[in-house]
Copies of this chain bind each other. A is one copy, B any other.
Amino acid sequence: MINFSFSLPTKVVFGKDVQQNVGSEVKAYGGSKVLLHYGGSSAQKSGLLDQVCQSLKKEGIGYVELGGVVPNPRLGLVYQGIDLCKKENVDFILAIGGGSVIDSAKAIALAIANDCDPWDLFDRLVDAKDCLPIGVILTLAASGSETSKSSIITNEDGWMKRGYANNLMRPKFALMNPELTYSLPMKQTIYGIIDIMMHTMERYFTPVKNVDLIDAMSEGLLKTVIKSGKVVVEDPENYDARAELMWAGSLSHNDLLETGRIGDYAVHQLEHELGGMFDVDHAAGLSAIWASWARYVYKADTGRFAQYAVNVWNCDMNFQNPEKTALEGIAKTEEFYASLGAPISLKALLEEKGIQDITEAQMREMAQKSTYGNKRKIGNFVVLSEDDIVNIYKAAWER
């Protein structure tokens, strides 16, 4: 176990109807003028936005609205949000949605409090010293951004997708009602399940040894997500399964499951480039790459992959040949993703976007972008070079 620092200041309020007290929560954190930040029209149609406005009005809190956040949230809308907040003297950002909305809200809140160009944070040119308070009403169990310290934004100028992390941007509160996820399109539910699993697995596949407690907790989380995921696919209004997924989403990405270890994150980096270049769904991109990454790197620690196979997928341990067990765990993961209808090859991923081919030059470009030309370290379980990344993209294409 390695040294770590950890805290989880976000107040999670979890359960039925919790969104109805949003006004008093905003007030408790000093909000007097709120930006309501959201995505498409579902928050309006479902009546959620009306509920929020009523609750804010009841507390005498003013608000302005900015919808239109899309998956792979755009820097352009972040700039719009900053302008609107400055013009309207907004002092609290309320994200109503899933990870994209929350990430966009974080970028706005950071840029205003630090009076900087938000992209300078994501491009590592400046570091944040402060952040406007953020609250969340979560409508999607997936990203874990509701209690996390990170945000990922896509810059349309060059289609670069970059993450920034800082404890300052952890939301003040997250109101989490599993019922709000009942009406999600099934595809979003499925991609949420994969996203939660991948956040856990990025941390699980670590080069650090002797991390039993968090291993066991991560394995328990993964098993629960697999079990609950199967339930909600059949029965989308199953409260208990939706609740398991929602809480698992937060716990998978708030650093609890990274305490005492370092995560890998190579698959996320490779996906970020796919997201930037082809605007693919985040979780679909992860699903399309993961098994190819795993088969490329598992020999660095066959034992860990065998442990994953046995403890998460209930595979029998092949004591004579642990490698077979390791590979079985990878195959089981891929089969599960496929059973949910997610792409498990780059070809299938891009076909969904109407793209028939990808050139090696494009793969190389993504590899170069992600490594900043071999200057940035990609991966910790195995450190990947540009060539490694191209090889993984190729393997993922050819599956």
A interface residue numbers (CB < 8 A to B): 1-16, 18, 209-210, 212-213, 215-217, 219-221, 223-224, 227-228, 239-240, 243-244, 247-248, 251, 256, 259-260
Contact = CB atoms under 8 A, between A and B. Distances in A.
Copies of this chain in its oligomeric complex: 2
Contacts of A251: 213
Nearest first, the 3 A-B pairs at minimum CB distance are A3-B15, A216-B220, A210-B240
A216 B224 contact: yes
A222 to B, nearest CB: 9
Given A7-B9, A7-B11, A212 B244 contact: yes
A65 to B, nearest CB: 27
Interface centre among A209, A212, A215, A223 (most CB of B within 10 A): A212
B10 A14 contact: no
Interface centre among A215, A239, A244 (most CB of B within 10 A): A244
B11 A15 contact: no
B260 A247 contact: yes
B213 A244 contact: yes
Interface centre among A1, A13, A215 (most CB of B within 10 A): A1
Contacts of A244: 1, 210, 212-213
Contacts of A227: 212
A261 to B, nearest CB: 11
A246 to B, nearest CB: 10
11 contacts: A1-B239, A1-B244, A3-B16, A213-B220, A213-B247, A213-B248, A216-B219, A216-B224, A217-B217, A217-B220, A220-B220
A172 to B, nearest CB: 10
Nearest to A218: B220
A86 B269 CA distance: 55
Given A4-B12, A4-B15, A14-B260, 12 more contacts: A1-B240, A3-B16, A3-B18, A5-B11, A7-B10, A210-B244, A212-B228, A213-B248, A216-B219, A217-B217, A220-B220, A247-B260
A16 B3 CA distance: 7
A256 to B, nearest CB: 8
Given A212-B227, A228-B212, A244-B213, A14 B8 contact: no
A243 B219 contact: no
Contact of A219 (B2, B212, B220): B220
A172 B6 CA distance: 12
Given A212-B228, A227-B212, A243 B1 contact: yes
A184 B14 CA distance: 40
A15 B2 CA distance: 7
Contact of A247 (B5, B12, B14, B259): B259
Contacts of A18: 3
A13 B5 contact: yes
A154 to B, nearest CB: 31
A84 to B, nearest CB: 30
A10 to B, nearest CB: 6
A304 to B, nearest CB: 16
Contacts of A15: 1-4
B228 A223 contact: no
